[in-house]
Amino acid sequence: MTSYCEKTGLSPEDMNLYRHYHSYLTQKISLSKPANETIKGFSKPLQRLIGNHAQNNNEAKRKERLFNHLEKSLVSKFQSASLVVFGSSASGLSLKSGDYDLCLIIPSVDEKKAIKKISSMLRGQGMDSVETITNAKVPIVKFSDPRSGLQVDISINNSLALHNTKLLAAYCKLDKRVKELVTCVKYWALHRNLCDAWSGTLSSYAWTILVINHLIQENVIPNLQQSDNRTIADVDGIEYDLTINTNASLNDANEAEVAELLASFFYRYATREWDKSVISIRNGGDLTRKEKGWRNEPPSAIEVINSDNTKMGNHHMAIEDPFDIDVDLCRVLRAHGELNIKNELIRACEMFSDGSTWKSICDTVNESRLEHLEPDDLFHDLRDKSDSIVANMLEKTKAEMVSLEKRVNALEDEKHSTIKMAKAMRGVIDETSGIRKEHKATVLGLKERSDLIEEIKSQRDKINSDIILPIHMIEDELSKVYKRLTEELDIHRVPSLEREKEHFSWFIELQAMHAKAREASELHQRFIENINLQKSEIAKLKIYETQHDDATKKLLEQEPLLKDKNVNRKEVISFDRRVQKLQKVVRQRRTELHKLRREVGRLEAWMRKKSSRNKNHSKRKNHRGSKSSGTSKPNAGPVTLGDISGLLSAIENEGSSKKVRKINAKKAGMRKLGNLSAHRGERGSFKRKD
């Protein structure tokens, strides 16, 4: 039977889950820096990765277009607001897949309310997965833009983040290896599921700080926060030391290549004694825990895992924020997250030395979490397919695209005519609203009176059910009994005492009955009066209705759209609902259409690439023997988005021949499919009141 570890207390499952970390803790393995030859083997794949993630024009344009669109809509919503880009998109340290971080600066605003307002605006604009986080220190709205495919975070008044972005941008400018190493580390962390503060691992920002710390320690870059001239500034009412010394330089800087720096990065953090000190790039090196005042608080991650205790102690992998120095960037860690990171750092360190490939080191842990990312190799699924199969795929996708386009157009037509109808109806109702108001008051009166009539009737009927005689008979009987009781007595026919008593009690009973009957009769009178009033009000209502019909009729005659339409509020509301439904469907279909267009573009690009490669190939065949060297080799490696954008812009720049083709197509009367690229302008035509 497998048992719990005596040293760590980990269960057999956890020992397996964190096997690299467990082996390291139990001294079953020892780590070392890899040999130079081994490191060299990583150079090419790392350079390829860095190339793939270099800033490309298409992405910059996509971001710019989205920024302009958001800026316009946000500034029109919040007066005196300004939108600023921060995070990796502004510092130059982004992966292709990185979030687009935007900060909305709005002076004196209720941030939570503002976030809610923004989120409903974004939903209205058709953004996907709109999510708000209002309980964080800085409230955020997260969403993805279906047109550009960008994942966006908008935070409010996140002023300090603008300063730390400036610091990272300054480091990025200092030496190209900063960007290179950040790219490699973020890529690895992303694929090994170690880079998500929301799920208990470190943020992308924290990984970047770890890289900067490593490069300062390795003497690759100087500490930019070191200077005799300090910049102290007030940010949101708190003073911070925001010194960034862009003139700082190093003597005898380390010239190591990125592969070597990556190997030492993994070694540094895999072997780090996290409990001993605190990482501080501000200080240019570690601070002791005593200096910093951050205790390695219990319970540890392992204790939490072993005892199912949910709350872990603070500061286990302490990383000081460069400006907000009371903030520990590891505050987001959860026990599994911490163990996972430590385990993976050791795994990467081992694999770097044992001849594994970069691809296997970065083997994706959770495919579904990265589904939204562009694949590094855009044509990965087409490489082993024959030309005819790809041509078939292209034809099929084009046919789907055309039929979907028709559908979208039909839906748009339907939506516009429904909007027109609702607007026309609303016009009618507004113009006859005076009449409708009186109408409404009368109807309300009818309802109240009808309730009263019902009540009177029930009281009357209840009394009547207790009285056995109608009132006139009671009165007759009363006078008869009264007469009998009061007439002069015939000495020969004196009634017995018993009989006398009977007459008296009958008389009293008749009197009580008479009082009740009078009450019933009064109720009946009120009942009749109310019924009559009700009748006359109903007659008035009919007059209003005729007036209203006349007014409506006149307008209907002027509006052909409304012929045969019964105009009332309910009908208008149902038209509005239909518009909303249509809007939703149109949005969904447009997203599908956008995907199909991209797929057609991709398949066409692959076919063009294949045919140009075949041409080169046959050219080389013809020249074989005459020139064996110096001919450029066709690119057999993975094609990336960067390649594709180059390829497409080369095609765009083909110039005159392209122009001729365009003119011919126009002359031939072909239907224009429109610009196949993502166009924010199209969204601009979507109006809220629609």
Please report how close the Cβ of residue 200 comes to ligand UTP at its closest, in angstroms: 14
> Given the rule CB under 6 A, which of 197-205, 397-405, 571-579, 620-628 is the region that contacts ligand UTP?
197-205
Three-state secondary structure call for residue 287: strand
Q: How far is the CB of 115 from ligand UTP (least distance, A)?
A: 16
Rounded CA separation 529/257 (Å): 103
What's the rounded Cα separation, in Å, for the pair 540 and 535?
9
Nearer to ligand UTP, 280 or 432 (CB): 280
The stretch among 203-211, 429-437, 472-480, 565-573 that binds ligand UTP (CB under 6 A) is: 203-211
> Of the two residues 98 and 642, which places its CB atom closer to ligand UTP in the complex?
98
Q: Does 213 bind ligand UTP (CB under 6 A)?
A: no
Cα torsion for 118, 124, 129, 133, to the nearest 10°?
A: 20
E strand residue ranges, 279-334: 287-288
What DSSP string runs through 148-190?
A: T--EEEEEES-HHHHHHHHHHHHHHHH-HHHHHHHHHHHHHHH
Quote the least distance from Cβ 165 to ligand UTP, whole Å: 5
What dihedral do alpha carbons 249, 250, 256, 261 form, nearest 10°?
-80
**The amino acid at 524:** H
Smallest distance, ligand UTP to C-beta of residue 310, A: 22
Place of tokens 């790219």: 183
Which of 88/225 has CB closer to ligand UTP?
88
Cα(131)–Cα(283) distance, integer angstroms: 37
Task: Determine the size of the site formed for ligand UTP (CB under 6 A).
Answer: 17
**Count of CA atoms in the C-beta half-sphere (13 A) of 240:** 22
Within 10 angstroms of residue 645's Cβ, the number of other Cβ atoms is 16
CB of residue 317 vs ligand UTP: minimum separation in angstroms? 13
Q: Exposed, middle or buried by CB within 10 Å (0-12, 13-18, 19+), for 20? A: buried
Q: Are 412 and 579 in contact (CB under 8 A)?
A: no
Q: Please tell me whether residue 314 binds ligand UTP under the rule CB under 6 A.
A: no
In whole angstroms, how close is the CB of 202 to ligand UTP at the nearest point?
9
Q: What is the DSSP string of 521-561?
A: HHHHHHHHHHHHHHHHHHHHHHHHHHHHHHHHHHHHHH-GG
Helix or strand run (H / E) with residue 86? strand 82-86
Nearer to ligand UTP, 161 or 453 (CB): 161
CB-nearer residue toward ligand UTP: 39 or 317:
317
Minimum distance from residue 133 beta carbon to ligand UTP (Å): 13
Q: What stretches of 53-128 show up as alpha helix (H) in DSSP? A: 57-77, 88-91, 111-124
**202 vs 189: CA distance, rounded Å:** 9
Residue 133 has phi, psi (to 5 degrees) of: -125, 100
User: How far apart are alpha carbons 605 and 58 in whole angstroms?
Assistant: 15
C-beta of 73 vs 88, nearer to ligand UTP: 88
CB of 170 to ligand UTP, least distance (A): 13
User: CB-wise, 164 or 280, nearer to ligand UTP?
Assistant: 164
H or E stretch covering 104:
strand 100-105
- What is the rounded CA–CA span in Å between residue 60 and residue 165? 18
Of the candidate spans 91-99, 110-118, 453-461, 659-667, the one that interacts with ligand UTP by CB under 6 A turns out to be 91-99
- The DSSP result for 118-151, as a single string, is HHHHHHHTT-EEEEEE-SSSS-EEEEE-TTT--E
List beta partners, residue 105: 82
- Which one of 8, 52, 73, 94 is in contact with ligand UTP (CB under 6 A)? 94
205 binds ligand UTP (CB under 6 A): yes
How many CA atoms does the CB half-sphere of 341 hold within 13 Å? 29
Options 9-17, 82-90, 500-508, 562-570: segment touching ligand UTP (CB under 6 A): 82-90
* Cβ-based nearer residue to ligand UTP, 164 or 213: 164
- Using DSSP's 3-state secondary structure scheme, residue 328 falls into strand
Pick between residue 200 and residue 601 the one whose CB is nearest to ligand UTP: 200
| Of positions 21, 86, 267, 352, contacts ligand UTP by CB under 6 A | 86
Nearer to ligand UTP, 184 or 481 (CB): 184
Residue 204 Cβ, how far from ligand UTP at the closest point, in Å? 3
Nearer to ligand UTP, 26 or 203 (CB): 203
Q: How far is the CB of 552 from ligand UTP (least distance, A)?
A: 58
Binder among 22, 69, 87, 362 for ligand UTP (CB under 6 A): 87
Question: Is residue 210 classed as helix, strand or coil in its secondary structure?
Answer: helix
Residue span 136-165 as binding mask against ligand UTP, x where in contact by CB under 6 A, dash where not: -------------------------x--xx
Instruction: Tell me how far, at minimum, the Cβ of 267 lies from ligand UTP, in Å.
Output: 23
Query: Scanning residues 320 to 349, which ones bind ligand UTP (CB under 6 A)?
Result: 329
Q: Which of 405, 403, 411, 396 is nearest to 599 (CA)?
A: 396
Please give the structure tokens belonging to residue 187: 């890529």
Site for ligand UTP in 98-127 (CB under 6 A): 98-99, 101
Minimum Å gap between C-beta 406 and ligand UTP is 39
Nearest distance, CB of residue 203 and ligand UTP, angstroms: 4
CB of 198 to ligand UTP, least distance (A): 10
User: Cβ closer to ligand UTP: 94 or 397?
Assistant: 94
Give least dist CB 19 to ligand UTP, A.
28
CB-wise, 211 or 346, nearer to ligand UTP?
211
* Stretch of 87-95, 263-271, 310-318, 639-647 lying at the interface with ligand UTP (CB under 6 A): 87-95
Q: Which of 39, 50, 66, 93 binds ligand UTP (CB under 6 A)?
A: 93
Least distance in angstroms from the C-beta of 427 to ligand UTP: 49
Residues, the chain: 690
The piece of 83-91, 231-239, 473-481, 488-496 that touches ligand UTP (CB under 6 A) is: 83-91
- Nearby residues of 277 by Cβ (< 8 Å), 6 or more positions away: 286, 287, 288, 289, 318
Residue closer to ligand UTP by CB (options 176, 331) is 331
For residue 300, the minimal CB distance to ligand UTP (Å) is: 22
Report the C-alpha dihedral over residues 222, 224, 225, 229, rounded to 10 degrees: 110
Instruction: Report 603-632 residues binding ligand UTP (CB under 6 A).
Output: none
Candidates 73, 201, 208, 306; binder of ligand UTP (CB under 6 A) is 208
Are residues 513 and 469 in contact, defined by beta-carbon separation less than 8 angstroms? Answer: yes
Of 225, 230, 237, 83, the C-alpha closest to 166 is: 225
Contact with ligand UTP (CB under 6 A) among 26, 203, 356, 459: 203
Q: Is 618 helix (H, G, I), strand (E, B) or coil?
A: helix
Nearer to ligand UTP, 128 or 576 (CB): 128
Binding site for ligand UTP (CB under 6 A): 86-88, 93-95, 98-99, 101, 161, 164-165, 203-205, 208, 329
